Amino acid sequence: MRLTRHAFTLIELLVVVAIIAILAGISLAVIPMVRHQAKDTKCNSNLHQVGLALAVYQQDNEGGFPYNLNNIKGPDGVLGEGADAVLLCPHDESKGQSSSFNRPPSWGDLSELFTPGCSYLFEASSHLLTDEEKGWTFADGTTWGSQGDTWAKAKQYQLNFGNSPSPSAFPASAFPLVRCFWHRTWGDDDHRAASPKVLNLAWDLSIYWSIPFWEHQANPSIPMP
């Protein structure tokens, strides 16, 4: 049998080039999305490990919380090897050096809760409430912060009694213990954002997405600020 060599026609070549161009275009569009999701997943895993470490810390410290999350890493802390990376969200290009936690300044200054090398906002810190936070009023009318109250104490109270004027306990699965704001860039008005882009470790150690003003998401009768 005689074999004949078949040359590509110009049309066939153009079709191949067009298909390659389309596939390349799809890849270029998909790769950043996949990268973003991989970083979300790593942050989720970090928060999960932080939650386990906090649980162990509490067992060893009569239910108390540490001053900051650096207190749960080595050599004496609960987080083992690689603890430095566990406290950094992969979206955080400052590598834990931004005291704003990627929140706009207009949302209030929480820099007293910042420690270098940690991307995450730890809301149950044993840090004393600052003058700015003093005066929080909870659903039973109690005002906090007058006498050496800590963030941890105030948060425990908020969990149990809710926000004024909607007196009901928050579900522990919708009450943030540790928060990550690095998954998008926020504008001043985005605290009312409808799409949940803050990744949280909840009080019951589950992980969930919330809007910045999580109180409204947990209890819609609490109005947006």
Closest to Zn ion by CB, 68 vs 200, is 200
**Shortest reach from residue 201's CB to Zn ion, in Å:** 10
User: Helix, strand or coil for residue 184?
Assistant: coil
Q: Does 43 bind Zn ion (CB under 5 A)?
A: yes
> Is residue 115 classed exposed, middle or buried when 0-12, 13-18 and 19+ CB atoms within 10 A define those classes?
middle
Closest to Zn ion by CB, 110 vs 180, is 180
Nearest to 200 by CA among 190, 209, 211, 191: 209
**Shortest reach from residue 208's CB to Zn ion, in Å:** 13
d(CA 40, CA 34): 10
Q: Does 79 bind Zn ion (CB under 5 A)?
A: no
Binding mask 111-150 for Zn ion (x = CB under 5 A): ----------------------------------------
Closest to Zn ion by CB, 152 vs 180, is 180
**Strand runs labelled E in 65-161:** 121-122, 136-137, 143-144
Question: Among 78, 83, 89, 218, which residue interacts with Zn ion (rule: CB under 5 A)?
Answer: 89
d(CA 177, CA 173): 10
d(CA 58, CA 182): 27
The footprint of Zn ion on residues 155-184 (CB under 5 A) is 180, 182
Q: Which residues bind to Zn ion, rule: CB under 5 A?
A: 43, 89, 180, 182
